[in-house]
């Protein structure tokens, strides 16, 4: 059975408690290595050694470094979401709350620039084989934005606005990491795109 098929088999069925613990160790090791040295520092053999799993086992969970780092980003966003829920944004409008939330998430990634760079590079390199992991990142980002908006049942127009906001946030992160945008410019871009939320509010029509 090809490596990708084995990985899909492992992850398509619910993980046992032991498998989940193993997966968490792998993601933690990936984040630790990336935090110290960025994308190039994440070598599958070192991840396996750090997480105390066999190299073959690691590949059954994550067929490549790109799969692993995109999954690491989803895991980091999930942790971030939990932190944001404990201290919700305080803006009066949905647009203000989303902008505040995304800037808090941005600053959290800013504190770990090597890790952020590794995860964003993995997203850039991701091909169709990494679609499930990329989709998880997108769903997690969408959930963070919808939580800040206070929406459980968004309209199609609102979901479209959320997708544009999500794309802008990822693009802003990429341009900041490459040194092509300042934090101030990122803040302006995020606040500007979040105004789409007000434009798609059904109560305004």
Q: DSSP of 99-116, one letter per residue? A: HHHHHHHHHHHHTSHHHH
Summarised one tens digit per residue, pLDDT across range 124-164 is 999 999 999 999 999 999 999 999 999 889 999 999 999 99
Residue 202 pLDDT grade (very low, low, confident, very high; cuts 50, 70, 90): confident
Q: DSSP of 137-162, one letter per residue? A: HHHHHHHHHHHHHT-SS--HHHHHHH
What pLDDT, on the 0 to 100 scale, is given for residue 152? 86
Average of per-residue pLDDT across 67-87: 95
d(CA 40, CA 192): 34
Residue 7 pLDDT grade (very low, low, confident, very high; cuts 50, 70, 90): low
Q: Name the percent of the chain lying above pLDDT 70.
A: 93
Query: What is this structure's pTM?
Result: 0.88
Q: Which two tokens stand for residue 137?
A: 């990142």
Closest CA to 100 of 46, 108, 13: 108
CA 72 and chain centroid, separation: 8
Q: Say which range, 7-21, 25-39, 41-55, 149-163, has the weakest mean pLDDT.
A: 7-21
CA 18 and chain centroid, separation: 24
Summarised one tens digit per residue, pLDDT across range 97-126 is 999 999 999 999 999 999 999 999 999 999
What pLDDT, on the 0 to 100 scale, is given for residue 137? 96
What pLDDT, on the 0 to 100 scale, is given for residue 26? 98
Which residues, in sequence order, are CB contacts of 40 under 8 Å at separation 6+? Answer: none
> Dihedral of the CA atoms 133, 135, 140, 143 (nearest 10)?
-160
What pLDDT, on the 0 to 100 scale, is given for residue 1? 40
């Amino acid at each position: 059975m090809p490596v990708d098929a084995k990985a899909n088999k492992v992850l398509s069925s619910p993980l046992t408690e032991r498998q989940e613990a193993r997966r968490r160790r792998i993601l933690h090791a990936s984040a630790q290595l990336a935090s110290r040295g960025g994308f190039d520092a994440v070598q599958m053999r070192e991840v396996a050694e750090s997480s105390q799993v066999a190299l073959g086992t690691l590949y059954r969970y994550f067929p490549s470094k790109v799969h692993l780092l995109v999954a690491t980003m989803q895991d980091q966003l999930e942790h971030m979401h939990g932190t944001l829920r404990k201290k919700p944004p305080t803006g009066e409008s949905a647009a203000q709350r989303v902008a505040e939330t995304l800037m808090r998430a941005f600053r959290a990634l800013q504190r770990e620039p090597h890790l952020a760079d590794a995860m964003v590079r993995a997203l850039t390199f991701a091909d169709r084989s990494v679609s499930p992991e990329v989709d998880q990142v997108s769903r997690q980002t969408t959930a963070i934005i919808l939580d800040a908006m206070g929406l459980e049942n968004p309209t199609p127009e609102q979901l479209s606005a959320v997708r544009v906001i999500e794309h802008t946030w990822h693009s802003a992160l990429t341009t900041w990491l490459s040194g092509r945008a300042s934090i101030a410019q990122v803040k302006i871009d995020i606040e500007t795109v979040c105004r789409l939320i007000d434009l798609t509010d059904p109560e305004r029509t």
